[in-house]
Structure 1
Amino acid sequence: MFVAWIALAVAIASEIVATLSLKAAGGGSVGAVALVVIGYVASFALMLVVLRRIEVSVAYAIWAGAGTAAIAVIGVAFLGEQADVLKFASIALVIAGVVGLNLGGAH
């Protein structure tokens, strides 16, 4: 089970790298296109490993929620995106939803 959680963490990290590379890839950067493709392929391949041990509702919620929250925080912290109360409240709701699904799936 520990390996599944490590694989999930790496899948999330791969998805974050791929998502952060999208803008540069759209600008024509070949290296960024490679990061997008490799990152998403790695993320989905790792999710195949994860789903052997962790319920899909829990794994997908953590994968999508953590990725979404991380991208939002990175956007504000490093990419100059606007930060406001609504954005941070929404991130908190995403995290709360993931925690709730995780607790509900922990039978």
Structure 2
Amino acid sequence: MPYVVLAFAILFEITATLSLRASEGFSKAGPSVIVVAGYLISFVLMAKALTALNVGPVYAIWSALGTVGAFVGGVVLFQEPVRPLSIAGAVIVVAGVVVMSLGGGVRHG
């Protein structure tokens, strides 16, 4: 169950980050509200997941998948460019999370 909570935390973080781009410097009210609410909900859900999981790997998973999700969302929603180095960076970020998870585990105990 903590992984489901973490997955929702990641989805809210991605939504908030993409809304940050759409808010145009907080000049648009709708996206600005989504930014604040999205990050708040994301942090609350991540805190809930951390009651059962270790902080290092959880934060790595949250930030890495959030980064990759924001990258993909930027490409799809805002037609941001896809460059080979950006793809390589995303692969490296995900590989780092895998290595961290293998090395430290993710359950309290």
Report the TM-score when normalising by structure 2.
0.89
Within a 5 Å distance, the mapping from 1:73-88 to structure 2 comes to: 73-88=72-87
Distance verdict in 2 for CA 1:40–1:88, change over 3 Å? same
Distance verdict in 2 for CA 1:9–1:96, change over 3 Å? same
**5+ long unaligned stretches in structure 2:** none
SS of 2:97's equivalent in the other structure is: helix
Task: Provide the residue aligned with 2:99 in structure 1.
Answer: 100
Please, which of 22, 25, 45 is the counterpart of residue 24 of structure 1?
22
Stretch deviating more after TM superposition (6-15 or 23-32): 23-32
Stretch deviating more after TM superposition (97-106 or 58-67): 97-106
Output the CA distance in 1 between the equivalents of 2:66 and 2:92: 14
Code of the aligned partner of 1:40? Y
**5+ long unaligned stretches in structure 1:** none
Q: Which has the higher helix share?
A: 1
2:71 is the counterpart of 1:72: yes
Code of the aligned partner of 1:51? L
Output the CA distance in 2 between the equivalents of 1:105 and 1:98: 11
Distance verdict in 2 for CA 1:7–1:73, change over 3 Å? same
Output the CA distance in 2 between the equivalents of 1:76 and 1:13: 17
CA-based RMSD: 1.4
Code of the aligned partner of 1:95? V
How many residue pairs align between the two structures?
A: 105
Report the TM-score when normalising by structure 1.
0.91
